[in-house]
Structure 1
């Protein structure tokens, strides 16, 4: 398995673990119980919490993919009465509870899950933090003792590490956050790309300007579909993202990596069947 293929395979195996944070009700319920009024208040407050009480502009820069003004609707107001530390702790509790429910008590308490948590943590705590803002933020948090929470925490560290690298790849190709969603929509076969769920709510004028900019660069055609240059750009971004996501797994021996894949596969299959809900 090549370095890039290894990183892609690990992303496929770990992503369903991370997705419970956004898909399952337990996390939303924990954040709402703190007093967060909406899903997005809880999302921004808990995901940005490892950065500390930074301004909205800093969160906007670190997250990269949100349109201008979206972060500022939630940060710093979401922290005015709820400390960031409380939000990130609630996210961990809810995510771990969702994993326990979906996987079942037997699997959640199994030696296989504990081993998955151990190996994932070994990888997640090994990579350099330079240039990895969100990953460094997650690395600053204590790693939970509970194996289920530790597996979620470490998978999320690796997700943020990958996301930091993805942003670097996008910046290198001069692809902005909203533009990235357009290219992602096209890669998923969604047309028109403006209908993609992550951007469809944006003002029509904003979306029209983004599409026009992509046309001027020759990345989409008059009908809003990929040109050859646009598809090649998307493929370069994804290839570099995989390459930049590989360093954490250098901490694992070949045997450990094979073992991690083996113990994660049944966990991932269960989570995928449930839609991480």
Structure 2
């Protein structure tokens, strides 16, 4: 079934499923498993576990595919991570961590429920409409073997859908002339994401780099003197989101609205349960309402 011109539904489905993927970056089980595998604690685990499906790539590839992180931050962890643990060991540790985190946050009864098995089947079916062309992070993850247990199938499928959307988002940013730091600055200016101090800290940008990019965006008419988006900046960001959603529609068109809505229904309930169980620090993820 087609969705007509309402490509915004791609964001609606993404938003309700994404907490089930992202909880893995915050779960204590993840750092425990990755450090046990040999990685250093902290940001190394994030960069290494997410890029491991692409193999022992260098910092340039990770910076390009992750897009809004400072190259200097990435270079502090990649390629050193590959000297401490192989991609295969890192991926095995990540799978162990996700399994443990899901069991802690959702419980055995929920994970054994028909709803989780149904959601896993629907999400996996959605991924069959994804193509790898021009989507390197998706392609790397798509080359991995599927796990066996339904909750791990669900996590892997959601991860594929997330990286598929993310690769399309980067293409939209490139098309609209925003590099990684420009994308981050304008994202914070929307007021709908994290604020500048948190963005600088987590993405590794200095005040000087941030201020220089903000100046370029002001000169381009994207930001005003107060650092808010101008009308042109609002239009730019809206165009990027529209392009991102259009590039992410294939899985949902393939499922059709009925099955997509069913996956949304189950995913929303599971995400709410995970958030309520403390999957994220306060303020990182609100429980999805729609």
| TM-score, scaled relative to structure 2 | 0.89
Within 5 Å, which residues of 2 pair with 1:175-254?
175-188=178-191, 194-195=196-197, 197-200=198-201, 202-254=205-257
Cα offset, 1:258, TM superposition: 2.8
Residue 190 of structure 1 deviates from its aligned partner by: 7.4
Deviation for aligned residue 1:42: 0.9
Correspondence 1:32 to 2:35? yes
Match of 2:288 in 1: none
Q: Do residues 76 (structure 1) and 75 (structure 2) align?
A: no
- Structure 2 Cα separation of the partners of residues 174 and 77 of structure 1: 32
Counterpart CA distance in 1 for 2:92 and 2:206 is 34
Whether the 8 Å CA contact 2:58–2:78 is kept in 1: the answer is yes
* Partner of residue 264 from structure 1, selected from 264, 267, 274: 267
For this pair of structures, how many residues does the alignment match?
Answer: 275
Structure 2 gaps, min length 5: 281-290
Query: Does residue 1:14 correspond to 2:13, yes or no?
Result: no
Aligned-pair CA distance for 1:132: 0.7
Q: What is the 5 A alignment of 1:51-62?
A: 51-62=54-65
**Aligned to 2:161, what secondary structure does the other structure show?**
helix
The 1-side partners of 2:95 and 2:12 are apart by 24
Partners of 1:23 and 1:81 lie apart in 2 by 22
Q: What is the root-mean-square deviation in Å for CA atoms of aligned residues?
A: 1.7
Cross-structure match for 2:106: 103
Unaligned 5+ segments in structure 1 are none
**Match for 1:85 among 75, 84, 88?**
88
Secondary structure of the 2:93 match is helix
Matched, 1:155 2:163: no
- In structure 1, distance between residues paired with 2:128 and 2:78: 28
Q: Which of 147-156 and 94-103 deviates more?
A: 94-103
CA contact (8 A) 1:139 1:157 kept: yes
Match of 1:94 in 2: 97
How has the CA–CA distance of structure 1 residues 184 and 107 changed in structure 2, closer, same or farther, with 3 Å as cutoff?
A: same
Give me the TM-score of the superposition, normalised by structure 1. Answer: 0.93
Shift of 1:38: 2.0
User: Which piece of structure 1 moves more, 54-63 or 143-152?
Assistant: 54-63
Distance change (3 Å), C-alpha of 1:81 and 1:190: closer
SS in structure 2 opposite 1:66?
Answer: coil
Query: Which structure 2 residues correspond to residues 93-172 of structure 1 after superposition, within 5 A?
Result: 93-172=96-175
